[in-house]
Structure 1
Amino acid sequence: LWCTYHTKSLVEKACTNTLKALNLDYLDLYLIHWPMGFKPGDKDLPLDCNGMVIPSSTDFLDTWEAMEDLVISGMVKYIGVSNFNHKQLERLLNKPGLRFKPVTNQIECHPYLTQKNLIDFCRKHDVSVTAYRPLGGSSEGVDLMDNPVIQEIAKKHGKSPAQILILFQIQRNVIVIPKSVTPSRIRENFEVFDFELTEEDMEELLNLNKSEHHKDYPFHIEY
């Protein structure tokens, strides 16, 4: 659910548009993409004169009620959230009259942003975690996959840095969704079930944490 459709009356329309675009009768999973809404209209990213997003006055608790209606109507099977911090997720879970809790929270997650506290919170409340951008990005001009610690672990196991980063999430019991359009890399992304990272490997990867996000957004977000 994109941010310009957070108004309760627009949620069903947004889902209908998605179903038509995908030529489907229902979705297995539908997520609120961000906890904040943007000004509704023709522009996906409505910006003010300073280049910042124009927010809407919507509350994600109201948006969630419309998401729940999608489950009841059969348009979607499960609903979840994305980019919610623990305070926002806790507020949603404590919502009076909650009919369906989020099945997952999709968040940016990689060794430079391990998200341990948020993952622990989600696990405590039986909300699965989905890691997007698991291969990270650059930090101070150095790409995550070029990090010497990750390179050394990859060399030890005879695997690629990308495979190390994917298995890192799997062994944390985190759903991982790497993205690629290259057939050879897509195949490589699947070839992570014939080896195991040691406790020492996992500790080294966790110790790389910088609580660092790899994308600048034209709006303020609190983590």
Structure 2
Amino acid sequence: MNGTAVFNLKNAENGREQAITDGKVRSAGVSCYYMKEIDDFLPKVMRRPVLVQNEIHPYYQDRKVTAHIQRLGIAVQAWYPLGGRGYTEALLGNKILGCIGKKYGKSSAQIVLRWELQNGVAVIPGSGNPEHIKENISLFDFELSGEDMEIIAGLNRDEKHDWY
């Protein structure tokens, strides 16, 4: 597998994370773990995951879950940080995000990604478009105001865009 080891903590044999112990991987994370899942899981493993990847975007913020995982000392990463396949255009076309973007001279995508970063959520947006890739990394020369953070928080619809 080209030096990349895939390891699923959920299936750790006898509570041992052998791939980590053997040095095949440095750390592991889980996906789609919410409060019950992470709380049930942690007592079963010797090494807690370093990251939980969950769907997070302005229309599905899941703030209680994110805060719970972060309090456990586990990083949270946004799955579908820009709304997900079939939903990105609608999210990035949101007029409120567009107005905030104009204020900072940034695109709606940059506003969303910066909002997630300021909430302590890691983002890795995918794109094959070189212009979008450049735009997606240009997030560190501005900071959203507290007021703008609250405005974006107000966009929450508890609207999941994935099947799980």
TM (norm. structure 1) is 0.67
- Please state how far the C-alpha of 1:75 moved relative to its aligned partner: 1.1
2:59–2:83 Cα contact (<8 Å) kept? yes
Q: Which has the larger radius of gyration?
A: 1
Distance 2:154 2:77 in 1: 21
1:71 to 20, 35, 41: 20
Report the equivalent of 1:208: 155
Instruction: Compare relative contact order (CA 8 Å, sep 6+) and give the higher one, 1 or 2.
Output: 2
Report the equivalent of 1:127: 74
| Structure 1 spans left out of the alignment, 5+ residues | 1-19, 36-59
Over the aligned positions, Cα root-mean-square deviation in angstroms equals: 2.1
Report the equivalent of 1:103: 50
Distance 1:64 1:147 in 2: 42
Distance 2:37 2:139 in 1: 33
**Identity level (%):** 36
1:31–1:81 Cα contact (<8 Å) kept? no
Map 1:125-204 → 2, pairs under 5 A? 125-137=72-84, 143-204=90-151
Deviations 1:136-155 (A, max 9, x none): 1466xx70011111111011
Letter in 2 for 1:90: D
- Please state how far the C-alpha of 1:184 moved relative to its aligned partner: 1.0
SS of structure 1 residue aligned to 2:141: coil
Over 2 Å off, 4+ runs: 64-67
1:68–1:79 Cα contact (<8 Å) kept? no
Distance 2:67 2:28 in 1: 20
Distance 1:149 1:169 in 2: 16
